[in-house]
Amino acid sequence: MGKLHIRASAAFGISLVAALGLSTAVPAAGAERAGPPGSTNYPSIVGHRGSAGLSPENTVAGFEQARDLGADLFEVDVQLSSDGEIFLFHDATGARTTNVAEVFPERAGDPITSFTSAELSLLDAGSYFGPSFAGEPIPDLRDAALVTTPKTGINIEIKSPENSPGVEAKLAEALGEKRYWQRLIARDQLVVSSFDEASLRAFHDLMPHIPVLLISSVPDDAALASLSQWADGLVTNYRLLDPADVARVQATGLTLDVYTVNSVEAMTEMTVLGVDSIITDFPGVLSALQRGVDPLPENNGIEVSTVVADPPGNDVQPENGEYVLLTNTGSAPVDVSGYVLQDAVINRLVVGSGYVLSPGGQLRVYTGPGTNTADRFYNNRTTAVLNNNGDSIAVFSPEGRFVDLYAY
Ligand code: G3P
Ligand code: MG
């Protein structure tokens, strides 16, 4: 059974000042956030795969958006093409985020690393997110570097290095040869991360002056002590973080970053715990929270109250499968027809026409099939979309108004 979750109301905003019990060490409401990472009580803001909740992941459009929304760093994933060129891409295949099925119909399920850089340049990595991003290409490292500024650096994740043999040396070579990388390194605006400890260590041995972060669950004290001998930080899944482990990690001298934090409530909780960086698909929400302004200014009272992602039985069984519960917490009726409920990998459920929620009114939006009623709408999908182990839901109006953000 999915967790029932009573949330703080995003519509009323949440004050980090209050949550942190601070009055002077943080900027006043509406002020610019003071200073670079480390100079305030706030964690650094890392835009996950760019700004993956609002624009296509690992694209220049997303990096620019993360920068413009106030990210301190944007995160990218690097892999190697079959002809040995670094490209920025997360998944193991192009199926989810590109038009590979149209361009290379025979190879749609092939490893993305089996394509040459020339072949990769033929793919559209934007249309999956929406037509306004059509034609957005798969970028390379230089494309990402050109988006950085003195305020916005980059976190380069070595993704699945087993599929990209030699990627560590290629990355070290690329970062060593261009002045723009030297500038970022000198300003402490470049970090390299990986889930793969051996790969991260290999990169570190080649470029020991670049900070490296291991992405992992928090290990025992002995392993942390050993890691702290060569790495700079640990990146961990916030849902699995024991609050006591924040101090345990930081006591070794390692920084602690958390991913992928996609709600105001979880951002606040992680800030209060004192993590060093928060990786999020919605850097603008975190930036607003840190500046003391409404993190969801377009909210109109419609909120996600609950997600039931793992009901008894099949998640997409007729009538009683997984669903998102929307509530109108405002004082006026809201027509939610056409509202879009988007998960973290950009599956979208859409509310059908004719649904107007009165104040206090609720609607269950199901993934699977069933009989539509006044308070239940079924999307008739055959595969589950709500991740049983935690996910996030961003709610948009048909006009693109960013109405709510919820994580479970
Ligand atoms: O940097 C943390 C995060 O990017 C790790 O997860 O799968 O999105 O690369 P993933
Ligand atoms: Mg990543």
Q: Give me the mean pLDDT over the 25-42 stretch.
A: 47
- 326, 350 contact by CB (below 8 A): no
Q: Identify whether residues 311 and 271 lie together within a single domain.
A: no
Q: How far is the CA of 157 from the centre of ligand 1 (A)?
A: 8
Rounded mean pLDDT of the chain? 93
Going by C-alpha positions, the residue among 71, 24, 83, 74 that lies closest to residue 50 is 74
pLDDT in tens, 368-406: 999 999 999 999 999 999 999 999 999 999 999 999 999
- Residue 2, pLDDT > 50, answer no
- 76, 291 contact by CB (below 8 A): no
- Residues within 6 Å of ligand 1 by CB: 48, 75, 77, 90, 157, 193, 215, 235, 259, 279
Examine the residue annotation and report whether 48 is marked as an active-site residue of this protein: yes
Q: What pLDDT score was predicted for residue 166?
A: 98
Q: Identify whether residues 308 and 274 lie together within a single domain.
A: no
**2 located within any domain:** no
Q: Give me the mean pLDDT over the 99-107 stretch.
A: 98
- State the pLDDT confidence band at 291, using cuts at 50, 70 and 90: very high
Q: Identify whether residues 185 and 277 lie together within a single domain.
A: yes
- Residue at which a domain ends, from 244, 270, 290: 290
Going by C-alpha positions, the residue among 5, 3, 19 that lies closest to residue 304 is 5
Q: Whose CA is nearest to atom 10 of ligand 1?
A: 90
The amino acid at residue 296 is L
Query: How many angstroms separate the most distant Cα atoms in the chain?
Result: 62
Which residues are bridge partners to 402 per DSSP?
Answer: 396
- Structure token digits, residue 311: 């009901």
Burial (CB < 10 A; 0-12, 13-18, 19+), residue 315, is buried
pLDDT in tens, 161-170: 999 999 999 9
Q: Identify whether residues 307 and 178 lie together within a single domain.
A: no
Q: Identify whether residues 248 and 328 lie together within a single domain.
A: no
Residue 370: which domain range?
302-407
Domain count, the chain: 2
Q: How far is the CA of 159 from the centre of ligand 2 (A)?
A: 7
- 40 vs 17: CA distance, rounded Å: 12
**31 located within any domain:** no
- State the pLDDT confidence band at 19, using cuts at 50, 70 and 90: confident
Q: Whose CA is nearest to atom 3 of ligand 1?
A: 259
Q: Identify whether residues 265 and 138 lie together within a single domain.
A: yes
- 275 vs 84: CA distance, rounded Å: 36
Q: What φ, ψ does residue 277 adopt, rounded to 5°? A: -145, 150
Q: Identify whether residues 286 and 308 lie together within a single domain.
A: no
Q: Give me the mean pLDDT over the 210-221 stretch.
A: 98
Q: How far is the CA of 157 from the centre of ligand 2 (A)?
A: 5
- Least distant ligand from the CA of 280: 1
**162 located within any domain:** yes
Q: Identify whether residues 158 and 236 lie together within a single domain.
A: yes
- State the pLDDT confidence band at 128, using cuts at 50, 70 and 90: very high
- 6 vs 10: CA distance, rounded Å: 12
Q: What percent of the chain has pLDDT over 90?
A: 90
pLDDT in tens, 314-346: 999 999 999 999 999 999 999 999 999 999 999
- 187 vs 22: CA distance, rounded Å: 29
Poorest-pLDDT segment among 3-17, 251-265, 385-399: 3-17
Specify the CATH number for the domain of residue 266: 3.20.20.190
Q: What pLDDT score was predicted for residue 139?
A: 98
Q: Identify whether residues 257 and 307 lie together within a single domain.
A: no
Going by C-alpha positions, the residue among 292, 240, 233, 283 that lies closest to residue 257 is 233
Q: Give me the mean pLDDT over the 277-285 stretch.
A: 98
Ligand 1 atom having least distance to the Cα of 195? 5
Specify the CATH number for the domain of residue 353: 2.60.40.1260
- 321 vs 265: CA distance, rounded Å: 26
* Greater pLDDT, 1 or 203: 203
Which residues are bridge partners to 364 per DSSP?
Answer: 325, 376
Q: What pLDDT score was predicted for residue 16?
A: 75
- 68 vs 373: CA distance, rounded Å: 42
pLDDT in tens, 52-85: 999 999 999 999 999 999 999 999 999 999 999 9
Q: How far is the CA of 90 from the centre of ligand 2 (A)?
A: 7
